[in-house]
Amino acid sequence: MARKKGIMETVRRVLRVPEPTPAPRMALADVFAPAKTLAMDDAAYRARLAASLGLAQDSAADVPGSYLSPGISTFCGASLASLSGFIGYPRCAELMQDGLMRRGVTVTADEMTRNFPHFIGTAGQESADAADQLNAEMERLGVVARFHEMAVMCGAFGGGLLFLKRRGEDVTNLAGGISLSPEFFRDGGLEALIPVEPFSVGPLAYNSTQPLASDYFRPSSWFVAGSGEAHASRFLHFTTGDLPVILRPAYNFFGVPSVQLALDYLLHFTEDRESAGRLLKKFSLTILKTNTDELLYGDDESGISRRIRILAQHRDNDGVFAISQEDEDIVQVNTPLTGVTDIVRQALEMLAVVWGIPVVKFLGVSPSGMNATGESDMRSFYDHVESQRQKMFGRNFELLSRAMQFSLFGELRADVAYSWPSLWALTERERADMAKLEADTDAIYLDRGILGQEEVRAALSGDEEGRYAGIDPDAVPEPVDTPDADLIAPGLPDADTPDTDRAGEVPE
């Protein structure tokens, strides 16, 4: 049968959905290339590098057959080629504007500096006075605040430098090295502590040829933007942890920023949160069943478009919409939201896991479940922070304490000590129980003659958090005279009853 003129044959169209474009992979040469800092924009820095052999790994990845070439690195599989590398200091600074990122960095830094060491004397009043001078010097230099800044730098940028500024020193002439000795720090020689972000420095000289040397891939000299060359001995080097040698130039010889480690989890949480928000806006769909032929073919004499707009505008609990009883109907289709909250919450809790911070500390959300207190999580968190504090602050604070002692006394004082206090604090009841246990122990030692009253009083005096802190150990009270027998109240022991505690005594 012939087709009627004017009627076109129906053609089946194939819907072609474009494939998602994969994220571009970073070249290996870019993954392991030295980090870009402000020092690279300094003409003096570039001139120094051009006069020497340059930096290791600045061009080695482009050499065929090198240890970074794709042909040799295939033993690692495809994962090595898909590495993202260092995201850069500008991106790290941008991430610090995000609330969750800043929360993770500052919570860790706050806990690391919450209980800071104080110097104490260990041999009489003279050593106690020396300890007080060191504590006053810490206050003048703002040691706690400076170390807090360095902890924030480690989370945001992977590390940082703390410049030991000496009194009267020219900051544009720092190429020579110094040592922690009275020669360089004496008579108040330590003037200030100045934090330096890694974005402002670049490595100028480091050993990249002798793996058996102690300074292998550790800069011996830095170039500070605006100041010039500065010897590494003039800085305290803070980092989140040493990286493999092959990655150190890529991170400017610091560690991996914590914000970079958490970035992937932040992106997943943000995507889940936005998807949940879109679903919440569209979870309820109103369907108007009516004749849509006129609307589809361009002739809307019945005003369906106008009726749909009115329905959308007045769609609320107080709205009323009239439809035809014969050929129209309204159906409400709701998308189930079960499990959406759990998915978003799990993505958010994974971000807390990456930071190593309990949810109750990171988000302020109380733990749920029977007998759930979160105490074990907090203990584990404090153990983790104390471990990180020791690795990041331990050696640097020891070097700083030596510089302060040389600056104040011209020598190291063996009668002054410090210790890192625990982050876990006992409750009032736990402290009372501990004090009772210690009192019973001291009573046993006194009864058996192992300790004297002066030694016990000295221990009580040295306990800064105890009730008897600061008492004179030598001011032992006189024994109270026993009252006459006729004045003893009924029920009380007489004069012949020994007034001693025999707890723990072994009978003969």
- pTM equals 0.73
| Token pair 């004749």 in the structure block, residue | 291
**Sheet harboring 228-231: ordered strands across?**
201-206, 219-224, 228-231
Q: How far is CA 326 from CA 141, 307, 329, 385, in A?
A: 86, 17, 9, 72
SS3 366: coil
Question: Secondary structure of the chain: what % helix, strand, coil (to 5)?
Answer: 45, 10, 45
Closest CA to 254 of 234, 238, 231, 233: 238
pLDDT of residue 237: 96
- 202 bridge partner residues: 223
How confident is the model at residue 25, as a pLDDT?
64
Distance set, CA 357 to CA 145, 362, 383 (Å): 22, 6, 11
One digit per residue, the tens of pLDDT, for the chain of length 508 reads: 444 444 445 555 555 656 666 666 666 666 777 788 877 777 777 777 777 655 655 554 444 444 444 443 333 443 333 447 889 999 999 999 999 999 999 999 999 999 999 999 888 888 889 999 999 999 999 999 999 999 999 999 999 999 999 998 888 889 999 988 888 888 888 999 999 999 999 998 888 888 999 889 999 999 998 889 999 999 999 999 889 998 899 999 999 999 999 999 999 999 988 888 888 877 777 777 877 776 666 666 667 777 778 777 777 766 677 777 777 787 877 888 888 888 888 888 888 888 989 888 888 776 554 444 567 788 889 999 999 999 999 999 999 999 999 999 999 999 999 999 988 877 778 778 888 898 889 889 888 888 888 888 888 877 777 777 777 777 778 776 655 545 454 554 555 555 555 555 555 5
Determine the pLDDT at residue 83.
Answer: 47
Position 80 scores a pLDDT of 38
In angstroms, the CA 14 to CA 506 distance is 97
pLDDT of the residue at 161: 96
CA distance 192 to 87: 32
Distance CA(10)–CA(22), nearest Å, equals 37
| Angle at alpha carbon of residue 464, lines to 458 and 466, rounded to 5° | 80
**Do the Cβ atoms of 28 and 192 come closer than 8 Å?**
no
**Which of 258, 259, 195, 246 has its CA nearest to residue 34?**
246
Q: Which two tokens stand for residue 135?
A: 């504590």
- The answer to whether residues 157 and 198 touch, using CB atoms and an 8 Å cutoff, is yes
